Amino acid sequence: EVQLVESGGGLVQPGGSLRLSCAASGFTFSSYAMSWVRQAPGKGLEWVSAISGSGGSTFYADSVKGRFTISRDNSKNTLYLQMNSLRAEDTAVYYCAKDPYTEPYYFDYWGQGTLVTVSS
């Protein structure tokens, strides 16, 4: 059974940093692209970042480019999102999502999400 479990969310001040993790199990982690998708309170879904199965290619939404860094450790079956220079508008539930391919396309499995709140 595919499982994706996010952690690392919490309250952080504007300008601060946070690192999210997503522990994956139930599939061959290195064979699939992974993404982070966020949802601000009461709003729709926004794709944030993706990484290929090998980790050799990364992709970012313009809204986070230069501030967020996606990475993965295939030996630990874990996906990460390093978030720097956080802003109030980054407040959201962050979901980890699995792609059915090695490059980012769409999402066949999702985690339960972790809440990030950026506020002073």
Partner 1 sequence: DIQMTQSPSTLSASVGDRVTITCRASQSVSSWLAWYQQKPGKAPKLLIYKASSLQSGVPSRFSGSGSGTEFTLTISSLQPDEFATYYCQQYKSYSLTFGGGTKVEIK
Q: Which DSSP category does 89 fall into?
A: G
Does 95 participate in binding partner 1 (rule CB under 8 A)?
yes
Please, what is the minimum distance in Å from the beta carbon of residue 86 to partner 1? 22
Residues near 44 by beta carbon (within 8 Å), at least 6 away in sequence: none
Q: Which is nearer to partner 1, 23 or 45 (CB)?
A: 45
Q: Which stretch binds partner 1 (CB under 8 A): 8-16, 22-30, 77-85, 100-108?
A: 100-108
Q: Which is nearer to partner 1, 85 or 112 (CB)?
A: 112
SS3 for 63? coil
Please, what is the minimum distance in Å from the beta carbon of residue 75 to partner 1? 26
Q: CA 20 from chain center: how many Å?
A: 7
- The footprint of partner 1 on residues 42-71 (CB under 8 A) is 44-47, 50, 59, 61-62
User: What whole-number distance in Å separates Cα of residue 48 and Cα of residue 50?
Assistant: 7
**Residue found by looking up tokens 């992709």 in the block:** 59
Does 106 participate in binding partner 1 (rule CB under 8 A)?
yes
Among 113, 31, 39, CA closest to 72:
31
The binding site for partner 1 (CB under 8 A) comprises 35, 37, 44-47, 50, 59, 61-62, 95, 100, 103-108, 110-113
